Amino acid sequence: MRTDTIFFQLFQTFDNLLFELVGLPPEASEGYHFTSVEIKEKAFRFDGIFIPEALEKNIWFVEVQFQKRAEFYWEFIGEIFLYLSQYKPHHDWQAVAIFAKRSIEPELPKQFRELFASDSLRDASCRIVRIYLNELPQDESLNLGIVRLIVAPERDAIALAQGLADRVGLGDRKKVIEFIDMVLVYKFPQMSREEVEAMFTLGDLKQTRVYQEALQEGERRGEKIGELRGKQIGEQSGQILGLKQGLKQAAVRLLTRKFGKVAQKLVKRLDKLSAEQLEDLAEAVFDFEKVADLDLWLKGR
């Protein structure tokens, strides 16, 4: 899973996520901008840096680690001091090391133990805080819930994703659903886009990238069929027929994913629908609870 990419986008989108992770109140995130900075001499690049506007606030260095690496602390702390040497900021600093789980954290070098005097931010001597994602509390905020989804076992991922989506407010709904969709796609790399789509059957799915790509794919297939048949029955009529075939295939695929095998007599009834009605059906599928709802929907057309 490309966790560095996911976390970069999470920190960039949810301004207060880092501060939630380290237990600070949401207002602590005010006045910061998030960036990723390269250290030129060694070509190091942090997973993220939160740089404040106010001098009384600290710079926060962030590094995310999902594999055990003995050199992790040597490199991370080395990058921090190279940054301080190169940019000479006026702010003080703190750092967060984020691990997928405690067992992948390497041994702490004794040369740096003073930087880890405490994991409590109330301790003025605390420089580097360690976070273990699989130990996040169950009653977390929505932002932390998305983070927990990244490390959740595959068997729990879909139920957790559904629960998170149910908690999303209308204002941020599309943005959060897109993030959940992205995590699931990375989390199940062995599965096709259609299979991920079938597992994550929310009404909001039709607004996500997965659904939109599936719809566009159906339209492209329809156009291709239309071009082939247009040679025999005329270009315009062939494209219309091809578009209908593509939309019908997309609708049948969605119905099959939701209900399993669909009776052939119901599939044949789709031939009588117009392209516009087939598009309506592709959206209506997400509101169906049983096959009988499809039969009732078709009778109304």
Q: What is the pLDDT of residue 179?
A: 79
Residue 211 forms part of a structural domain:
yes
User: What's the CA gap between 201 and 158, in Å, rounded?
Assistant: 10
**Are 10 and 106 contained in the same domain?**
yes
Q: What is the pLDDT of residue 106?
A: 95
275 lies in which domain range? 206-299
User: What's the CA gap between 98 and 107, in Å, rounded?
Assistant: 15
Q: What is the pLDDT of residue 92?
A: 93
Partners of 132 in the β-ladder: 99
Q: What is the pLDDT of residue 162?
A: 79
Residue 162 forms part of a structural domain:
no
Contact partners, residue 208, CB within 8 Å, separation at least 6: 174, 177, 178, 181
**Are 20 and 100 contained in the same domain?**
yes
Q: What's the domain count of the chain?
A: 2
**Are 124 and 9 contained in the same domain?**
yes
User: What's the CA gap between 73 and 93, in Å, rounded?
Assistant: 16
Q: What angle do CA 218, 222, 223 make, to 5 degrees?
A: 120
- The maximal CA–CA distance of the chain, rounded, in angstroms, is 80
Residue 220 forms part of a structural domain:
yes
Q: What is the pLDDT of residue 203?
A: 47
User: What's the CA gap between 239 and 242, in Å, rounded?
Assistant: 5
Residue 217 forms part of a structural domain:
yes
User: What's the CA gap between 195 and 153, in Å, rounded?
Assistant: 18
The residue out of 87, 107, 136 marking a domain boundary is: 136
Task: Count how many residues are written for the chain.
Answer: 301
| Backbone angle region of 42, left / alpha / beta, with phi > 0 → left and psi within -120 to 50 → alpha | alpha
Q: Is the dihedral of CA 71, 74, 78, 81 positive or negative?
A: positive
Q: What is the pLDDT of residue 52?
A: 92
Nearest to 243 by CA among 267, 225, 268: 225
* Two tokens, residue 82: 């190279």
H-only helix segments in the chain? 3-13, 17-21, 72-87, 142-151, 154-166, 173-187, 193-199, 209-233, 235-259, 264-269, 275-284, 291-299
Residue 242 forms part of a structural domain:
yes
Residue 16 forms part of a structural domain:
yes
Residue 104 forms part of a structural domain:
yes
Q: What is the pLDDT of residue 205?
A: 47
* Two tokens, residue 60: 């926060």
Q: What is the pLDDT of residue 259?
A: 72
The residue out of 115, 136, 157 marking a domain boundary is: 136
- Cα 83–chain centre separation: 30
**Are 111 and 13 contained in the same domain?**
yes
Nearest to 251 by CA among 268, 228, 229, 235: 268
**Are 225 and 107 contained in the same domain?**
no
The residue out of 85, 111, 136 marking a domain boundary is: 136
Residue 223 forms part of a structural domain:
yes
Distances (CA, A) of 150 to 109, 165, 180, 266: 28, 15, 9, 39
pLDDT less than 70: residues of the chain: 1-4, 36-45, 118-125, 139-140, 169-173, 192-243, 257-258, 286
Nearest to 298 by CA among 273, 276, 263: 273
**Are 120 and 7 contained in the same domain?**
yes
> Looking up tokens 């992790």, which residue turns up?
72
Q: What angle do CA 220, 6, 85 make, to 5 degrees?
A: 135
